[in-house]
């Protein structure tokens, strides 16, 4: 039996490697200088989906909601081996919290039905909430397995998954279709294959083709689209108009959580006492700790 998967992927600022250049002189982070990367756990999720396809056959499609620039991420997925890529992009989706994000992603997934498994990363390294996966599952009425460490096997419409729990692990058996969120250690993502890079580096979204057509009066958008579609290089884009969504539940408007205030973490100068590295210095330190009621 073969399985059809959709992997939810997100392009994120590289918060793990905040280097000197992205620090402002006052010690705060300059977010616009942060390069974007493939959210690490989503890459692992894609790898798991590809392994499932290698083993049992089927298809792997990838889906992201983000700005037009997120098409870079989708090309990366095609390089790794995804069969098809979908971009959900609309200004009206901007500023979404996890509830509004999962609402739109669930609506897009309904357009991609039927599928057996929706894969997601456990969490994205920018918002770090780990909420979008379970919320998407709830909206689709799907069961979920979070914190998956590996897929043990699939048979007769059921899948066996090993997942992390507090101080240990569980093996679960889930009935398909379901949603799985994946942790970092579950698999090592394969590198992109040179042949696929050659094949898909020209994959384009509708908006990217429109830009090409605008820049060159000899190109007609309908023809371009036709040509890219026929070559398998068309990245499908969905906007609010393509989805069955209530706009009051999308984007900032549909987000119950609001960011009221943001403080960059600045290393504050703290009042501390320097202890000389001498015998007397150490004695004095022990005395102070006794005064602090820590020793004695």
Ligand X SMILES: Cc1cc2nc3c(=O)[nH]c(=O)nc-3n(C[C@H](O)[C@H](O)[C@H](O)COP(=O)(O)OP(=O)(O)OC[C@H]3O[C@@H](n4cnc5c(N)ncnc54)[C@H](O)[C@@H]3O)c2cc1C
Nearer to other proteins by Cβ, of 1 and 252: the residue is 252
Least Å distance, CB 185 to other proteins, is: 12
Least Å distance, CB 9 to ligand X, is: 6
Residue 101: helix, strand or coil by DSSP?
helix
Is residue 39 close enough to count as binding other proteins by CB under 8 A? no
Nearer to ligand X by Cβ, of 105 and 250: the residue is 105
Question: CB of 182 within 8 A of CB of 144?
Answer: no
Residue 244: helix, strand or coil by DSSP?
coil
Question: CB of 190 within 8 A of CB of 47?
Answer: yes
Question: CB of 203 within 8 A of CB of 78?
Answer: yes
Q: Which of residues 92-111 bind ligand X (CB under 6 A)?
A: 96-99, 101, 105
Question: CB of 13 within 8 A of CB of 35?
Answer: yes
Q: Which of residues 4-63 bind ligand X (CB under 6 A)?
A: 8-10, 16, 39, 41-42
Q: Which of 82, 118, 120, 206 binds ligand X (CB under 6 A)?
A: 120
Least Å distance, CB 288 to ligand X, is: 21
Q: Which of residues 99-118 bind other proteins (CB under 8 A)?
A: 99, 102
DSSP characters for 42-65? HHHHHHHHHHHHHHH-EEEEEEEE
Is residue 185 close enough to count as binding other proteins by CB under 8 A? no
42 binds, options other proteins, ligand X, none, Cβ within 5 to 8 A by partner type: ligand X
Q: What letter would DSSP give residue 95?
A: T
269 binds, options other proteins, ligand X, none, Cβ within 5 to 8 A by partner type: other proteins
Is residue 89 close enough to count as binding ligand X by CB under 6 A? no
One symbol per residue from 250 to 279: x for binding other proteins (CB under 8 A), - otherwise; what is it? -----xxxxxxxxxxx-xxxx-xxxx-x-x
Q: How far apart are CA 22 and CA 175, in angstroms?
A: 46
Least Å distance, CB 97 to ligand X, is: 4
Is residue 254 close enough to count as binding ligand X by CB under 6 A? no
Q: How far apart are CA 263 and CA 29, in angstroms?
A: 10
Neighbouring C-beta atoms of residue 51, cutoff 10 Å: 17
Question: CB of 34 within 8 A of CB of 21?
Answer: no
């Amino acid at each position: 039996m073969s399985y059809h998967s959709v992997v939810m992927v997100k392009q994120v600022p590289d918060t793990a490697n905040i280097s000197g250049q992205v620090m402002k002189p006052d010690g705060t982070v300059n977010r616009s200088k942060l390069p974007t990367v493939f959210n690490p756990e989503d890459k692992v999720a894609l790898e798991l989906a590809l392994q499932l396809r290698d083993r049992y056959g089927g298809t792997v499609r990838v889906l992201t909601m983000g700005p037009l620039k997120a098409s870079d991420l989708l090309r990366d997925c095609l390089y790794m081996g995804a069969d098809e890529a979908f971009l959900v992009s609309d200004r009206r989706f901007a500023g979404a919290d996890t509830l509004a994000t999962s609402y739109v992603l669930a609506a897009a997934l309904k357009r991609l039905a039927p599928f057996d498994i929706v894969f997601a990363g456990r969490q994205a390294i920018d918002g770090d909430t780990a909420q979008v996966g379970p919320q998407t599952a709830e909206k689709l009425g799907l069961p979920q397995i979070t914190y998956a460490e590996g897929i043990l096997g699939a048979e007769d419409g059921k899948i066996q998954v090993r997942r992390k729990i507090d101080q240990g692990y569980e093996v679960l058996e889930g009935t398909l279709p379901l949603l799985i969120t994946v942790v970092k250690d579950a698999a090592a993502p394969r590198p992109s294959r040179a042949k696929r890079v050659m094949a898909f580096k020209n994959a384009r979204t509708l908006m990217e083709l429109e830009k090409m057509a605008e820049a060159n009066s000899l190109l007609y958008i309908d023809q371009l689209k036709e040509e890219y579609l026929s070559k398998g290089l068309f990245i499908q884009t969905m906007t609010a108009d393509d989805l069955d969504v209530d706009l009051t539940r999308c984007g900032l408007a549909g987000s119950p959580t609001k960011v009221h205030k943001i403080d960059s973490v600045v290393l504050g100068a703290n009042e501390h006492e320097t202890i000389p590295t001498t015998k007397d210095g150490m004695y004095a330190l022990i005395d102070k700790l006794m005064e602090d009621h820590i020793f004695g």
